[in-house]
Structure 1
Amino acid sequence: MSSIVIPFIGGLAMFIYGMNIMADGLQHAAGSKMKKILEVLTQNKLMGIALGALVTAIIQSSSATTVMVVGFVNAGLMNLTQAISVIMGANIGTTITGWLVSAGEWAKMFSPSTLAPIAVMVGVIITLVGKRQQSKDVAGIIIGFGILFIGMNTMSDAVYPLRESEVFKTAFISMGSNPFLGILVGAGVTAIIQSSSASQGILLSLASAGLVPTNAAVFIIMGQNIGTCVTAILSSVGASKNAKCVGTMHLTFNIAGTIIFSILAMFLFARLDPSYGEGIINMTQISFIHTVFNVGTTIILMPFSGYIIKFAMKVNGLKAVETKSDEAELVHLDKRMMSTPSVAVEGAKLETIRMGRIARENLSLALSTLSDHDEEKMADVKQREFVIDKLCDNISKYLIDLCMLHLSDKDNEMVTSLLNTVSDMERVGDHAENIVELAEEMKQEGISFSDTALEELNEMSTTTLGAYDNAVKALELDDITYAVKTSFLEDQVDAMEKKLRAGHIERLSNAECSVNAGIHFIDLLGNLERVSDHAMNIAQVVLNEHRAEKNFHEEKNVE
């Protein structure tokens, strides 16, 4: 028995490892295209289904896609209507694994014994010769494809002797005649190994050895779809109720599909053609049945998606969409998104922009206290400064974790830039607090500015806020136009600072204002000038990115 079990386990390990290498290479080769998924995702159900199928086909795991969706919903990047569409698509996308593995039957030139060694050899050559990261990603796809096939071949060879085993034959006959048992086995194996693709690989290897009757395969396939929901449910533990709904929707959708098609299958096998169910199934037939089951379930249940959402919300005690009232809570970041680094980088960018807007609001509020000396506003500014500091720490930690992942060169540069940007935004928050402290001192000491000084401060404040607004907009839209505007306004702020400083020194020398007022005025000018410098640093991220892209295209044209 050990001569069967050990090679089978080794083959399964190679199958899973090859699948992971291939998925990783596909994911990184896709690059920024993965980040555009959220941008094109709309309320259109068909678009969501198509995207769910595409992403799952790329990362070779419906469980991973659903876990990603849990993270998106928890981070507020996706609503439940969008989520259920992606889940439906993920079920369709996961069938691609079966078609890849069964290619040896319907396309003889793709048989594992022929293709696998060639794929590994080609992948290794590309790895050794290729210099760019993109070449290495392509090599990873090819090598993973080859290892996956070698693992599949090893599993099939290991179980081949079981063709003569009466025990195995009896076990599969039992699963075919007892739908509940077949579904239970499929769900249990998939839940244990946490991968529907790997579970499919096991079933396909047994089928290639001529061990699986059609009726048993049908019920095991349905069970696999239920078992794959366990990963998403476990992933949603500790997440928001909204995110928990994703796991519930996934389970509800797959159970409903299993019930519908189990009834149809039992009717077919018991009434229409009993001999068909008892016949031995091959890998291509399994892939076909799996595809029909998942596509059929999607077509049947798509009109009822709204009811599935309502049921999931009721099960999780959610009466309305949850919102996070605490500004310090992270909105766009979730550890689950790190399974897709490029999307996690996009989430970090969105969270950084959100922090930047909070810092801007605080700066505007602080500047207003110079004229109205409102103590409640001053307290709000100081309280929000704690929020900004907390956001800075949490975003920075997230970005540092991202640095440990396999990122594309572009994403790696963005993470580095965001770390600097978060620091710049935190410093803007510090300057807002400095301004409030100056306003408090002026109130305590009875200091006030002249109308001329207030007009000058208002003009410089408006220009400074304009520079900062354009910088954040440039980062958000990746638009160099706003970055150039920031540079123009920052130059204006620098010129104003010199001019107003000189003018105020002249007023001091003419005894037109007090020394204390003059000191506070100069300090305020310094804070505003520093804010514009930080705005320029933020805009520089976009300027550098566009400059790098221009140089890359120029080098490419030269080559």
Structure 2
Amino acid sequence: MNIGYLESIFSFLGGLGMFLYGMSIMGDGMQKSAGSKLNKFLRMVTDNRLLAVGLGALITAILHSSGATTVMVVGFVNAGILNLTQAVGVIMGANIGTTITAWMVSLNSLGDAMKVLQPSFFAPLVVAIGAAFLMFSKKKKESLAGEICIGVGLLFVGLTFMSGSVAPYTDAPIFAKAFAVLGRNPILGILVGALVTAIIQSSTASVGILQTLAMSGVVSANAAIYITLGQNIGSCLTALLSSAGTSRNAKRASVIHLTFNSFGAIVFGIGMYIISMMRPDIAQSSINSFQISVFHTFFNVTNTLLLFPFAKQLVAFSGLIVRETGEEEAKKETKEDELPVLDERIFKSPTFALEVGVMEVVHMGKMALANLKLATSVLLENKYECLDEVFKNETEIDILNKKLTEYLIKVNNLSLNEKQKVQVSNLFYSISDLERVGDHAENLAEAAQYLKEHGLAFSETGIEDLKEISSAAIGAVDHAVAARQDGGMEDIRQVSKLEDRVDTLEEEMRDKHIERLSKNECNPSAGVVFLDILSNLERISDHAYNVAGYVKDEL
């Protein structure tokens, strides 16, 4: 091998590295600047499938990765935020949104007369501007802009390196033979496209590589089409991987994505094969990067239009692939689904990983709230048959606390902006406070158990007092969890009012109870338990106030 070949190989691999790295840091910068807006977009999805398609396309265009969008969809289905019918629309939109990068790449195919409009012409300047922002700017927004600029610039500099390294060898027989074989064999062409995409886990990147080869005029039309169809199938791998270990519906969402892309590849593959048999001159002609962009967009839009009315059928088909389990296993799975499936593959999208953390902290808060209500019903309504359930729920809250702590530690090490890092810290504090709410609920249940075992009871006045203060404490926790979920200032204000109310009631009731004890109106043993209950309820409201305070800090 002479030095010229070696230099070309190094240039191609270096260009490929810059292209992939540029895409990565551009998408990362987009996610940081967009923050949780991407996930709020997904939450807007209703049964309006057209809106779902639009949102899926928009998010994918921002992220430059249909894989990242479908991973988010699988996660939201797993968390119960999206149902399968809604997920279908977002998945369809993701396939349309992924074409945006192909169009960016195809701009490099403009003629010399339009050279100043080609990204490769101004890409070095974009990198320089981005570097200047990163080195000399102290503002976070400008640093993020610099990061995005460097990503965009490296993407096109990498493409220039790749196309430049291939250009001297466009007349080599190996290229003509390779693409002739792929063009004659649709199955082989589709497999190659799927395999390359599966390896680099990005259909956007693999389409870009194909376009780079097409710029040199070595790609035949039929081979490019078969490879592009395969690339769409290969893009499903990321979602399939992310669904491992998730709920049944989350697995079905990834199956829908695979079914959708496979159907389109089969239909278009058959169509291209028929055309190649009837018009071999068209099939064997060369194709440029602009034409690949046109076909890529045409394929995804047409596939969406064809299958758009059949969303329910896609859902039904996914149910045939991922079947219902037996009754006993279904019950077990339902119970497991109540606990979060914190899949580490979602760390590919830091913003989404953080959003999942928020959702699961809310989930933990609702578990603690439900157990608090159950414990107070045991205490005030003598529902002693629920004691074991309270203790069991507290064990689950402790397990969830440990899982969430480990998860948030990993999220904290991801590429997050300053606001997101503050949110992660607040989530750490929140789960600590919510775990303490669970502990105090357990204390209330133990107090009820002690009263039962020793045959003790409170006076009617004492019971009414406890009902009043426990209602205020429960309300504080309820509004704190709602504030964490929705970020509403009204909930935060309600927590503050209720916490003040609990403090006032606790002080008044403690004084009145001591007075009753001094008059021998209460059993001293029951009186000690009463004061302990007041203390626990007061501490519960304090923890609720803390949780709401963290949300206020973020706002």
Q: Could you tell me which residue of structure 1 aligns to residue 449 of structure 2?
A: 440
Q: Could you tell me which residue of structure 1 aligns to residue 349 of structure 2?
A: 340
Q: Could you tell me which residue of structure 1 aligns to residue 261 of structure 2?
A: 254
Q: Could you tell me which residue of structure 1 aligns to residue 281 of structure 2?
A: 275
Question: Which residues in structure 2 correspond to 1:114-125 (within 5 Å)?
Answer: 114-125=121-132
CA distance in 2, matches of 1:169, 1:381: 72
Question: Which residues in structure 2 correspond to 1:30-45 (within 5 Å)?
Answer: 30-45=34-49
Deviation at residue 128 of structure 1 after TM alignment: 1.5
Question: Which residues in structure 2 correspond to 1:17-416 (within 5 Å)?
Answer: 17-106=21-110, 108-271=115-278, 273-318=279-324, 325-326=334-335, 329-331=338-340, 333-416=342-425
What is the SS of the residue equivalent to 2:92? Answer: helix
**AA at the equivalent of 2:288:** N
Q: Does the Cα contact within 8 Å between 1:16 and 1:198 map onto a contact in 2?
A: yes
Does residue 457 (structure 1) correspond to residue 463 (structure 2)? The answer is no
Deviation at residue 543 of structure 1 after TM alignment: 2.9
- Give the 3 Å change call, closer, same or farther, for CA 496–131 of structure 1 in structure 2: same
Q: Does the Cα contact within 8 Å between 1:81 and 1:306 map onto a contact in 2?
A: yes
- Give the 3 Å change call, closer, same or farther, for CA 160–502 of structure 1 in structure 2: same
What is the SS of the residue equivalent to 2:36? Answer: helix
Q: Could you tell me which residue of structure 2 aligns to residue 491 of structure 1?
A: 500
Q: Does the Cα contact within 8 Å between 1:61 and 1:197 map onto a contact in 2?
A: yes
- Give the 3 Å change call, closer, same or farther, for CA 433–149 of structure 1 in structure 2: same
CA distance in 1, matches of 2:74, 2:380: 47
Which of 440, 455, 465 is the aligned partner of 1:431? 440
**AA at the equivalent of 1:410:** K
Q: Does the Cα contact within 8 Å between 2:73 and 2:87 map onto a contact in 1?
A: yes
**AA at the equivalent of 1:188:** L
CA distance in 2, matches of 1:51, 1:356: 30
The sequence identity of aligned pairs, in percent, is 46
TM-score by length of 2: 0.93
Deviation at residue 354 of structure 1 after TM alignment: 2.2
Runs of 4+ in structure 1 deviating by more than 4 angstroms, as ranges, are: 319-324
**AA at the equivalent of 1:511:** N
CA distance in 2, matches of 1:531, 1:306: 46
- Give the 3 Å change call, closer, same or farther, for CA 335–127 of structure 1 in structure 2: same
Q: What is the aligned-residue RMSD (CA, Å)?
A: 2.2
**AA at the equivalent of 2:201:** Q
- Give the 3 Å change call, closer, same or farther, for CA 113–543 of structure 1 in structure 2: closer
What is the SS of the residue equivalent to 2:416? Answer: coil
What is the SS of the residue equivalent to 2:334? Answer: coil
Which range moved further: 338-347 or 356-365?
338-347
CA distance in 2, matches of 1:523, 1:192: 61
Q: Could you tell me which residue of structure 1 aligns to residue 511 of structure 2?
A: 502
What is the SS of the residue equivalent to 2:170? Answer: helix
CA distance in 1, matches of 2:185, 2:363: 55
1:522-541 CA-to-partner distances (Å, cap 9, x unmatched) read 11111111111112112212
Query: Tell me, which stretches of 5 or more residues in structure 2 are unaligned?
Result: none
- Give the 3 Å change call, closer, same or farther, for CA 463–193 of structure 1 in structure 2: closer
**AA at the equivalent of 2:309:** P
CA distance in 1, matches of 2:495, 2:198: 53
1:107-132 CA-to-partner distances (Å, cap 9, x unmatched) read 53243542121111111111122212
Deviation at residue 357 of structure 1 after TM alignment: 2.1
- Give the 3 Å change call, closer, same or farther, for CA 333–43 of structure 1 in structure 2: farther
- Give the 3 Å change call, closer, same or farther, for CA 197–225 of structure 1 in structure 2: same
Query: Tell me, which stretches of 5 or more residues in structure 1 are unaligned?
Result: 547-559
Deviation at residue 389 of structure 1 after TM alignment: 1.0
1:134-181 CA-to-partner distances (Å, cap 9, x unmatched) read 211111111111111111111111111222211221221222233233
- Give the 3 Å change call, closer, same or farther, for CA 232–455 of structure 1 in structure 2: closer
- Give the 3 Å change call, closer, same or farther, for CA 178–360 of structure 1 in structure 2: closer
CA distance in 2, matches of 1:283, 1:99: 9
Q: Does the Cα contact within 8 Å between 2:42 and 2:55 map onto a contact in 1?
A: no
Q: Does the Cα contact within 8 Å between 1:328 and 1:390 map onto a contact in 2?
A: no
CA distance in 1, matches of 2:304, 2:447: 63
Q: Does the Cα contact within 8 Å between 2:437 and 2:543 map onto a contact in 1?
A: yes
What is the SS of the residue equivalent to 2:35? Answer: helix
TM-score by length of 1: 0.92
Q: Could you tell me which residue of structure 2 aligns to residue 555 of structure 1?
A: none
Q: Could you tell me which residue of structure 1 aligns to residue 489 of structure 2?
A: 480
Does residue 545 (structure 1) correspond to residue 533 (structure 2)? The answer is no
Q: Could you tell me which residue of structure 1 aligns to residue 426 of structure 2?
A: 417
Deviation at residue 320 of structure 1 after TM alignment: 11
CA distance in 2, matches of 1:74, 1:494: 40
What is the SS of the residue equivalent to 2:255? Answer: helix
Deviation at residue 385 of structure 1 after TM alignment: 0.9
- Give the 3 Å change call, closer, same or farther, for CA 158–479 of structure 1 in structure 2: same
1:186-245 CA-to-partner distances (Å, cap 9, x unmatched) read 222222222212211221111111111222211211121122222322332333332222
Q: Could you tell me which residue of structure 1 aligns to residue 530 of structure 2?
A: 521
CA distance in 2, matches of 1:64, 1:373: 51
What is the SS of the residue equivalent to 1:164? Answer: coil
Q: Does the Cα contact within 8 Å between 2:72 and 2:352 map onto a contact in 1?
A: no
What is the SS of the residue equivalent to 1:211? Answer: coil
**AA at the equivalent of 1:146:** G
1:314-366 CA-to-partner distances (Å, cap 9, x unmatched) read 01213899785327843374433332222332322222222222212222222
CA distance in 2, matches of 1:227, 1:176: 19
Q: Does the Cα contact within 8 Å between 1:242 and 1:318 map onto a contact in 2?
A: no
Across the two proteins, how many residue pairs are aligned to each other? 545
CA distance in 2, matches of 1:219, 1:113: 28
Which range moved further: 178-187 or 215-224?
178-187
What is the SS of the residue equivalent to 1:325? Answer: helix
What is the SS of the residue equivalent to 1:297? Answer: helix
- Give the 3 Å change call, closer, same or farther, for CA 30–458 of structure 1 in structure 2: same
Q: Does the Cα contact within 8 Å between 1:463 and 1:493 map onto a contact in 2?
A: yes
CA distance in 1, matches of 2:236, 2:488: 41
Q: Does the Cα contact within 8 Å between 1:70 and 1:336 map onto a contact in 2?
A: no
CA distance in 2, matches of 1:343, 1:535: 26
Q: Does the Cα contact within 8 Å between 2:245 and 2:341 map onto a contact in 1?
A: no
Deviation at residue 431 of structure 1 after TM alignment: 1.0
